[in-house]
Amino acid sequence: MSTFMSRNDLLLLIGFTIAVLTMPLWLAPFGAGYPDLLNRFAIFAIFAIGFNILFGLTGYLSFGHAAFFGVGSYAAVWSFKLLSMDALPALLFAVVISALFALLIGFLSLRRSGIYFSILTLAFAQMSYNLAYSVLTPITNGETGLQLTLRDPRVLDNALFEAGPGLPSPTLLGMPLQGFEAFYFCAALLIVAFFLAQRISGSPFGMMLKGIKSNQTRMHYTGFNTRPYTLAAFVISGMYAGLAGGMLAIVDPLVGAERMQWTASGEVVLMTILGGAGTLLGPVIGAWLIKYFENIFSAINDVILARFWSFLPDGVSDAMVQITSKFVGDGWFLTLGLVFVLIVIFLPGGVMEGVRRIADQFRPSRRSGRPANQARPHPRPAE
């Protein structure tokens, strides 16, 4: 075992597995213990983990990852429509098709780096989004969004079973994927995705990617052709996004093009940065925090606020309700933007760096023994 995984890695994986599987229990007191939200936690965590494989390890900032997410969603729904309501072929198609798509876009975009790479990925994603809305309407169903209908062929299902009444819902090998079944399916995929990311990060391939991030020129001088490595990272990252998109199609089979819009690409960037780019747990935490607060904050209304501030004198509490109501409900994105700006300014390593700094406070003996470069604002490339 020791040659396969270090003890720390194993502990992290076990801890992560336990944390994910018990999510319905420990999130219930926070009002988040229901499957619909938990599914999203798992799905967007996978999306962010995948994004981190590209951005966190190689430093290439892609502003077009939502394109792969959207392609994954469309592929999954088409698999539902044409083949079967089973989740496995749907996810397989989602991953394979988004991998092909990522291969094409990555091959072109990775010819440039830095800001040009960001613009290229953004341009490709916007092209996909615009096309999905206009010319590709036969495939994407345009503004209405692609959805399941009663007239879908579903070749495999109809050959094997008698068609039931009403719209079918996604299944896993005949078992319906609803409620907590769907969550544990998503959770299992999340754990596998985390495990793979951990393996990638610790492998020689992962070291190569980190080398590209810290100094690509030096990698060239030592005789490495970095392009295949970055392309591989890009495709892997695109596959993660496709998987997440496919999973979202399973829990919510109405797919609209807005899943590919650049704001969706921006959201995964936010998640990764907020949690801590380049770390394993960071993107997961970022995704959970954003999805949790999105859910909680957007549900808060003036009545709840009034109750919260009711301990203050009348005039003051009314004023506080007025002020705070700008930051919750529809205004939740304002809070997100502010938090994000503060994080980028003061804590570029995200939540994970904050945790590390606090932990360092309690370990004075180890801090003195650490190399001096730990004090710089950037996090270590990866854990």
Q: Residue 186 has what DSSP assignment?
A: H
Sole binder of another protein in the list 134, 215, 301, 322 (CB under 8 A): 134
Least distance from another protein to the Cβ atom of residue 339, Å: 9
- Cβ distance to another protein smaller for residue 26 or 116: 116
Sole binder of another protein in the list 89, 142, 348, 354 (CB under 8 A): 348
Sole binder of another protein in the list 25, 345, 358, 372 (CB under 8 A): 345
Helices 281-299, 7-21: crossing angle, 10 deg rounding: 20
Picking from 80, 50, 77, 72, the residue whose alpha carbon sits closest to that of residue 128 is 72
Least distance from another protein to the Cβ atom of residue 176, Å: 38
Distances (CA, A) of 372 to 90, 249, 349, 364: 49, 47, 17, 14
Question: Phi-psi category of 103—alpha, beta or left, where left has phi over 0 and alpha has psi -120 to 50?
Answer: alpha
The reply on whether position 159 binds another protein by CB under 8 A is no
Least distance from another protein to the Cβ atom of residue 340, Å: 4
- Cβ distance to another protein smaller for residue 33 or 329: 329
Phi, psi at 287, each rounded to 5°:
-60, -45
What is the helix (H) or strand (E) element at residue 171, kind and residue range?
strand 171-172
Q: Which residues, 6 or more positions from 31, have their beta carbon under 8 angstroms from its beta carbon?
A: 296
Contact positions with another protein (CB under 8 A) in 22-51: none
The reply on whether position 201 binds another protein by CB under 8 A is no
Contact positions with another protein (CB under 8 A) in 273-292: 273
Least distance from another protein to the Cβ atom of residue 183, Å: 30
- Cβ distance to another protein smaller for residue 159 or 345: 345
The reply on whether position 302 binds another protein by CB under 8 A is no
Sole binder of another protein in the list 47, 51, 69, 124 (CB under 8 A): 124
100 C-beta neighbours (distance < 10 Å), count:
16
Token pair recorded at residue 21: 């599987």
139 C-beta neighbours (distance < 10 Å), count:
12
114 C-beta neighbours (distance < 10 Å), count:
10
Contact positions with another protein (CB under 8 A) in 231-270: 262-263, 266, 269
The reply on whether position 376 binds another protein by CB under 8 A is no
Sole binder of another protein in the list 333, 354, 355, 380 (CB under 8 A): 333
Please give the Cα distance from 188 to 190 (Å, whole number).
5
Binding site for another protein (CB under 8 A): 59, 61, 108, 111-116, 118-120, 122-124, 126-127, 130-131, 133-136, 262-263, 266, 269, 273, 326, 330-331, 333-334, 336-338, 340-341, 344-345, 348
